[in-house]
A and B are shown apart, each in its own frame.
Chain A
Amino acid sequence: MELKESSLYTATTPWFESYRETFLQSMPASDHEFLNHYLACMLVASSGEAEPMEQFSKLSQEQHRIQHNSDYSYPKWFIPNTLKYYVLLHDVTSGDEQRAESIYEEMKQKYGTQGCYLLKINSRAPNRASDEQIPDPWSQYLQKNSIQHQESYEDGPCTMTSNKNSDSNLLSLDGLDNEIKVDGLPNSFRVHPLQLDQCGDPPNTDGSDHTKSASVRENKKASTGVIRGACLTLTDHDRIRQFIQEFTFRGLLPHIEKTIRQLNDQEMAAVSAFLQPGAPRPYPAHYMDTAIQTYRDICKNMVLAERCVLLSAEILKSQSKYSEAAALLIRLTSEDSDLRSALLLEQAAHCFINMKSPMVRKYAFHMILAGHRFSKAGQKKHALRCYCQAMQVYKGKGWSLAEDHINFTIGRQSYTLRQLDNAVSAFRHILINESKQSAAQQGAFLREYLYVYKNVNQLSPDGPLPQLPLPYINSSATRVFFGHDRRPADGEKQAATHISLDQEYDSESSQQWRELEEHVVAVANKGIIPSSFYPTQYCLNSYSDNSRFPLAVVEEPITVEVAFRNPLKVPLLLSDLSLLWKFQPKDVNGKDIERARERARLKLFPHHIGELHILGVVYNLGTIQGSVTVDGIGALPGCHTGKHSLSMSVRGRQDLEIQGPRLNNTKEEKTSVKYGPDRRLDPVVTEEMPLLEVFFIHFPTGLLCGEIRKAYVEFVNVSKCPLTGLKVVSKRPEFFTFGVNTAALTPLSPSTSENCSAYKTVVTGSPSAGTALVSSASSVDFGTSTGQQLEAIPVPLPDSVLLPGASVQLPMWLRGPDEEGVHEINFLFYYESVKKQPKRRHRILRHTAVICTSRSLNVRATVCRSNSLEDEEGRGGNMLVFVDVENTNTSEAGVKEFHMVQVSSSSKHWQLHKSVNISENKDAKLASREKGKFCFKAVRCKQNEAAVQSSEKYTFADIIFGNEQIISSASPCADFFYRSLSSELKKPQDLLSAHTEKHGAEEAVRLIQKCSEVDLNLVILWKAYVVEDNKQLILEGQHHVVLRTVGKEAFSQSQKQADVDVIVDLRHKTTSPEALDTHGSFTWLGQTQYKLQLRSEESRSLQLKACFVHTGVYNLGTPRVFAKLSDQVTEFETSQQNSMPALIIINNA
């Protein structure tokens, strides 16, 4: 259907027509039939002849002699009594008209009016001919080859006459043929005896022949030239037409009608039946079928059978019986003649498509069969044409195997015909369309493709490199990385992880980094993020924002990672892979970019600033021949640098075109499909920027919770310009510190710091027996203000500038996070160039530290008013601080025991005064699961309160258990204290405010709350004795407890917050037998079991009633409390730890 409109579909097949004609012409007439037999003979004489009548009789005798003399086996004459038609040719320009008329009268008398004709032609002068274009009346009756023949013999008058003679003979026969629409019936003029007689045997010819031919020549003088019929006018054309009509209707047809009834050959009868116009009977196809079958099977005469088929097919076609015609044509195809079969199959295919409902698939199928036969017959062009025509049916229809076959044949045929471009594109189709062929087949296709491709390339070696179809490039997966590769760890130095192509994209972490960068930029710009700020992207991938041109720095490599995919089942060998790029330098200095290669990562090294465009990749594509192992299948062998195998390989390119994200903002974009730009591959090379490298020395991977460890950081400026403004930002500022004024108190190089305490310590001669040593420090000194929740910590560089090539090692203290488990801590280092640049102000460096912490101590503290103890100075406001320290370490980490070293207080208003219960456990040792209790007395600070408030000054008081004082007001102890304080403050403050709002209306309540407020912070410093690899190590650490309310417990570690179901069961204890013994003397009254749900941070008080029968001391701490997570269905309930004994003394009333 659509096929018929296509340009490639050829409705006409001239080659077939000429084949048919030639076939019919060259076919010898057979004895049993009358095709190609002459029905009539036309005798022509000129009116200029001296004795035309005599000529006629002579010609008549001649004809008689040829027909009845046995010398001539050819031509065959239809019937003995051949119709003779006498024509007197009269040239109007030269002849005497009256004479001609009189001769004609004479002819009529002699041969009858039906048998003769006077033809007048040439009614104008020959010289006028040239400018008027009257079509040659003869041309439609003359075969092309006969015209050529005639022209080639133009010189010889003798041959010319003979030609003319034959022409007129042909004329009559052709005219007849033309009438009956069965063209191609003419006899072969070359073997015509009349002609042979005249030119091949001149001595035999008598004068009359000469005169006749002379007259003919005279009459048609003009027509012997290239332009025949130049002397003819339109009247002549009419006359000629009239003459032919006269001849056929008056002379020939009556004659045939007379004889046709005698024909009994079925074939002839069928043809005749068809020829009869308006015949009432339908075309008797079965006659034809029988005839063909008989010819083929019985007579074994393929030639006659073929002729019969050709005739019948034409007839059927003219009657639109295409399927019958096709069947007929297909039936004749056989093994013996490829060419004939091909032609017939092709005709059959045309029949299928010409049907009323075109049978497209049959058309295509037979076209392919025809193409196959054509190629077998060596007709490559025809074969190619057939396949191409069939291709139109199958193209893109999903019949992949058929399509592959056609493409492969087209490729081959095109190649043999040197249509290399077509061949390449055909092979390309096979390879790229997710071929379903077997591996061996694909390998063959690939080799063939490469071979053809190579030939194409050799034709134009200097042309642009052509596009290769394989392997596929997943262009959206292309990643671009700016910067040097990460240096591997150098001895003890561990480089900052930064960012590399090996890292998988993680949207959560990239968001975190982005926030960190935004934050640090805001800090660097005095709290405002500049409008020109965009987060730095070192690695561009399909997730990153690629709408802007990325910035690359001169003299820093750009790495492009290209993702290849091999759709084939055979391995592909890529070699000499390199990037294609275009560079627009900003300076006129020119450029020098070197290319490096590593796997599918390609590196560019820009040496000048400007705009770079990465266009694509260039590579050699080849096959691996020889021992191709099956396990290579699927996996891309990548770019082996190794020796090139002898296999074929071609060089070509593939462009990298990355489609941006689909736009979906405006209504127009939503309704249409539009894509934004993706500038991943178009970096702008900017001026030199400083480049920082950071190394960590002695950086631990495992810590105890709260452990303090000292490590060193080395900052190296590897660029050629100085850097400044170095800052570091992290979400966990409480994890690390650079300390304050560290230069004075720590060894500068990491090697000398081995086995040194992380703390600043002072040896005290004798233990101060539990009294506090007081010092003070301001939080401002430690760079911590409680206002902002996230801080950018400036790195204390000497002179705050790092010169090119310079490196600085700085100490860094780490404190293990309070929560147990694996912590990923992100550091973002921020730095700027000394000179301001318009495009990019800052650069960043990332580091992710992974720290695994294990449980150490759990500290619980309460503060309560001391009523009994009086201050020495008699002032009230003394307080007791109870501290419970539990060793929660599960000795996995090899920790033997913890020693409490020191407890320090830090507050604006309070300070620890002395230890109350110095027991025999002087060094405060805690083995696994042991618990220690400490009690301290706290007093109000002596400073003026107003001054304290304004200066943010904290008073530090250290109570030492050993003989070494850790100065808690100095780095790093105070650093971590302030950090934890600030992170501690941000959480409960919200809660507190919410809490106050609840009761906000009542001023009294708030006042009461204010009264019970206290701001005492405790720092518990400890040492842990650890056995590791048979060596004893001493680890140090500190825990913080923030005490805010009198009587409320505070923990060193934020408690897990979850909704819990709580069961308070009072009866439980009473059922226990031993409890009965000791405490059986009182009973709980009223409700003895409560079930309630507590939300996080919620507190609830229950009223319990007890009845005491006797006087005495009772322990009321008997209730058992069970809790479970509310969202868990399991019945597993954890029992609360036994609460402290609550003693009550009942006196006798």
Chain B
Amino acid sequence: MAVSRLASSSSSLSKLLLRPLPAPPFSRSFSAIASDDDGTVLTIETSVPFTGHKIDPPSRSVDTTRNELLSFFHDMSVMRRMEIAADSLYKAKLIRGFCHLYDGQEAVAIGMEAAITKRDSIITAYRDHCTFLGRGGTLVEVFSELMGRRSGCSKGKGGSMHFYKKEAGFYGGHGIVGAQIPLGCGLAFAQKYSKDETVTFALYGDGAANQGQLFEALNMSALWDLPVILVCENNHYGMGTAEWRASKSPAYYKRGDYVPGLKVDGMDVLAVKQACKFAKEHALKNGPIILEMDTYRYHGHSMSDPGSTYRTRDEISGVRQERDPIERVRKLILTYEISSASELKDIEKGIRKEVDEAIRQAKESPMPDPSELFTNVYVKGFGVEAFGADRKEVKAVLP
């Protein structure tokens, strides 16, 4: 793997010209890219400056590296491909129930991961497939869980809305709108108590921003200076209701009133990374902060929503053309000549194969055993009586 040695044009961190290099192998599950990076820092400006509420916003110049940009491209493409594959699986009735897709919003998950560690906690709502992947989940776990199989991350018992990963501090995956926000504040309290310099990111949507529990949680976190970052993923539609029809004030970053807030372009992964880094430092010192991610979802609210009855197709394609997060990173990579267009295409092809392989593996996994219906209701259970069609023979008192 050839690494080019380059002279910097000035003493400060400035743009560097790089020779294109062959793409490193991307055939492992979600993890950091092999570091053949010479560590040269690129400083790139975010698309728009940050807007602050009761706080000085961070600079819009973001430091990144060549490899980081490539990893952004790769990881976001995996997420995109995964969501599209989930769409097809749902239409083929292999996935049933509810399926809320995240494509369009990948930059939020990836940018956040770039700024934090796996010891920080993330808790989110039901649009959680990509967040789970970002936390270190594998594609096989995702597809298995979606199809309700045993090898899924929640053993097939949770489904699309309930992905969890304890080792990576991913607390799910919640179906009830807004319910995860006070939970996130509780997680932050525990982190502050154990003094381990970690924070919690509690994500919610523009629909949930009108839930009373958000404001209860904000008050508690501000009162006790909890290291929680409340991230409003504002994709401008709460199911089918546009934000201006649901909220008197759609400036969600200001809704915290006494809690400072930052408005971030959620389609720009570098802006997200900068904001999350800034927010983490702030939260550890001063308590809660709100981040409003201005983002967009291409799919409808869920698979039963075509997504075009409350917004025009022009709007959707407009966002796809102007603000798509993956395309933005692709342009950066090509501009800074980190890689070539055909190499990026190869990466995408490789990802496609990876996703198809994961689906194949997931399909082979069996459904959970029927006895699993009764496990984990309680810790040691209690005499749950169950019977089949014939009560006399097929009757059991479960542990």
Partners in one complex: no
